[in-house]
Amino acid sequence: GAGVSQSPSNKVTEKGKDVELRCDPISGHTALYWYRQSLGQGLEFLIYFQGNSAPDKSGLPSDRFSAERTGGSVSTLTIQRTQQEDSAVYLCASSLYGPPGNTIYFGEGSWLTVV
């Protein structure tokens, strides 16, 4: 595709349920990022994948959050035992190579609502 694709675009889930959010980066992009966007918190870095290197997980808020990237392409962000404070837009982004100097392209996001 022409851009970063994310699914689902909207997800409503009950508190305590697990959710999976998917990201298809731009073809050929080696770097992939997950961010969380919420009112008052801005853009919060979650995790970063670069090629075959170990991911930078320093932004994951708790052990309920995990992400994997299979085959260097598609990534899945999993939130276990969702809480209401997990409600946010989850943004995926990719770049051709890792930083510095490379433009990061964002997807449209997955809007998660935990009720």
Partner 1 sequence: AQRVTQPEKLLSVFKGAPVELKCNYSYSGSPELFWYVQYSRQRLQLLLRHISRESIKGFTADLNKGETSFHLKKPFAQEEDSAMYYCGGMDTGRRALTFGSGTRLQVQP
Binding site residues, partner 1, CB under 8 A: 3, 33, 35, 40-45, 48, 50, 56, 58-59, 91, 93, 98-101, 103-108
Shortest distance, CB of residue 100 to partner 1, whole angstroms?
Answer: 4
DSSP-derived 3-state class of residue 100: coil
- C-alpha 32/C-alpha 39 separation (Å) is 23
Q: Kindly tell me which of 4 and 82 has the beta carbon lying closer to partner 1.
A: 4
Shortest distance, CB of residue 65 to partner 1, whole angstroms?
Answer: 15
Distance of CA 49 to the CA centre of its chain: 10
DSSP at 8 = -
Shortest distance, CB of residue 79 to partner 1, whole angstroms?
Answer: 19
